[in-house]
Amino acid sequence: MTKFFNVTGVCRPEIHYMVDLSSRLSAIKNMVDAGNYFSINRGRQYGKTTTLHALSDFLRKDYEVISMDFQTMSSASFQDEASFVTALAGEFLDYGENFPDGIEEQLLSFADGNAKVCSLNALFRVIKTWCGKSEKAPVLIIDEVDYASNNQVFLDFLAQLRAYYLKRPRVPAFQSVILAGVYDIRSMKKKIRPDEEHQENSPWNIAAEFDIDMSFKASDIEKMLTEYDNDYHTGMNVSKLSELIYTYTSGYPVLVSRICKLLDERIAGSAEFPMISDAWTEAGFNEVLKRIVKEDNPLYESMLGKLTLYPELKTVLQDLLFNGISIPYVATNPYIKDAAMFGFIRNENDTAVVANRIFESVLYNHFISEQFFGNKMYEAGLQEKNQFIIDGHLDIRRILEKFIDAFSEIYGTDDEKFLEKVGRRYFLLFLKPIINGIGNYSIEPQTRNSDRMDLVIFYRGEQNILELKLWRGNSYNERGEQQLSGYLDYFHMKKGYMLSFNFNKNKQVGIREIALGDKTLIEATV
C-alpha cells in the first residue's frame, strides 16, 4: 500500500509518512518504569492519540497494558457510580489480555450488572488483586479524559487511583496511570466533605510533571521528508523545506502533516505546479501557506470556539498580536494557563508568544473579520482594490498613498491614544480586501513590539516587506530604517516599505522615497 500523509485519526508508520516517535516513547517509558502517574495535556490534534497507540505497543513487552478511550463510553456511563463501574469493567475486559485466574470472571460480574455491590470500592478491590497476581505489572492508559472531566464520578475514580498510589508498595496497584486530554486534570477539584464546600483538594495531585516535548523538530521533519523523497524523487531541498515548515508551525504535529499533505495532494499537479518537483519548492510552500491559513478545519474551529467560552483569552491574544505588549509567561496566571493549555501560546524565554506563525495568521484573520461589516477602513480598501494591481503585481506604494488618504479622512480627528492602539489593525483591515483570495500576509514575530511590527505581504509568488511603526522621533526612525534595511538583506530584496503613525501636530503626512545604500525605502507617514 502506498504511504500518505495523515491528518485524521491515528498515524501508523506502516501506511503513513510520519515522524519517528521512538525517542519520545523511550522517555515516556522511563516515567512508566519509575512508577509515575501523569497526564499528557496538549492542544487539539497534537498527536496525543497517535503517541498513546504507539506507546501501548512499545510497553507491551514489559507490561500488561490496558489502553482505553473515554469517548467510546456513552454519557450514560457517567451518570452515577454504578453505571460508571459497569462501563469501566467492560472496558477492562475489552482491552485487557492476560488476566490472572478469577479476575476475568469478577470483572464480568460488574460488566453484566451481577455484582453484589457495584461500587468503585468493590471494583478497586478486584483491581488490587489483579495487580498483585499479574505476571506483568498493569499499566492503565486513558485517552480523551476530557469527555468525563466534569463528572463527579470521574473525580471519585481519580480519588481511588490516588489512594492506591499512596499505599504502594504495601498494596498492589497499577504500575503507572496515564491520562491524556486537552484539559489539565490536576486543576480539577474534589470536595473533601459535601458539607464543607470551601475545603477542596485535587484528586490528581500525585501526578508527576510531564515535560517531554511532543512537538516536531526540524530534524524530525527532515527525516520524514527524506523518506517521502526516496519514494517520489522530487529533487526537493529537504533541509530547506524542513526548516520552512518548522519555522511556520513550530512543530505543531497536525500542521506539519497538513502542509505536507497539501503539497502532495493539492499543490502537485495543479495548474501552477504541474509537476511534483514544482510543488516541493519554496514557491509551493508559500502557496500552501496561503491556503492553510484560510481553511475551516476542526482544529481552528475548536480553538476559536474557546475564545467564546473564555473571553479573557481574546484580550490576551489581541494584546500580543496587535498591540505588541510583552506579557510575562507566569504559569500560575489563569489566563496564561488557559491560553497555553488550549495551544494558543508557548513559553519563549519566560515571555508568552503565540504558539506558531500559522496560528498567528489565523487569529489575525479571525479578529479582523469580526470588524469587516460596517468598518469604514475595510470598505475603503474594498472600494479601491482594483487600482492596486498593475500587470498582475501588487503596488504597495499606491496602497500606502490611498491608506493615508482614507485614514486621515475617516480618523483624522480621533483621540491619539485610541489611534495608537488600533492603527495597525486598521491598516490590515484596509489591506485585507485588496489581497483577499490571491495573496496573504504574515507578521514577523521577532519584530513585533509596542512600537513596530514587520509585515510580509505575499502576492502571486512575490514578497513585499512593510514595517508598521509608531513615530518616536527622528533618531528612532533612522534606527527603524537601518533595521528594515537589514531585514531586506535577510530576504535578499532591494526595496522595502515603512508606514509610520505620527501623532505630532506638525507632522508631514505623505510619501517619501529614500536611498539607503543599495536599497530603496518607501516611507509613508500618516
Span 318-347, mean pLDDT? 90
Single-letter amino acid code for the residue at 519:
K
143 touches 67 (CB < 8 A)? yes
DSSP bridge pairs for 40? 180
- Reduce the DSSP state of residue 386 to 3 states and report it: helix
Confidence of residue 416 (pLDDT cuts 50, 70, 90): low
Burial class (CB in 10 A: 0-12, 13-18, 19+), 524: buried
Those residues whose C-beta lies under 8 Å from the C-beta of residue 87, and which sit 6 or more positions away, are 73, 74, 77
Is the backbone peptide bond immediately before 194 cis, with ω within 30 degrees of 0?
no
Q: At residue 497, what are phi and psi to the nearest 5 degrees? A: -130, 150
Span 396-414, mean pLDDT? 88
Top pLDDT among 379 and 230 is at: 230
- pTM to 2 decimal places: 0.88
Q: What is the pLDDT of residues 175-226, one digit of tens each?
A: 999 999 988 876 655 443 444 443 456 778 899 999 999 999 999 999 999 9
506 touches 479 (CB < 8 A)? no
* pLDDT reported for residue 51: 97
- Reduce the DSSP state of residue 59 to 3 states and report it: helix
Would you tell me how many other CB atoms lie within 10 Å of the CB of residue 201?
Answer: 11
Q: Give the helix/strand (H/E) hosting 262.
A: helix 253-262
Give the C-alpha distances (Å, rounded to integers) separating 509 from 140, 194, 427, 485. Answer: 67, 68, 16, 22
- For the chain, give the percent of residues with pLDDT over 90: 64
Task: Name the residue among 458, 474, 468, 478 with its Cα closest to residue 498.
Answer: 468
Q: What is the pLDDT of residues 230-257, one digit of tens each?
A: 999 999 999 999 999 999 999 999 999 9
Give the C-alpha distances (Å, rounded to integers) separating 431 from 159, 330, 483. Answer: 55, 35, 23
40 touches 180 (CB < 8 A)? yes
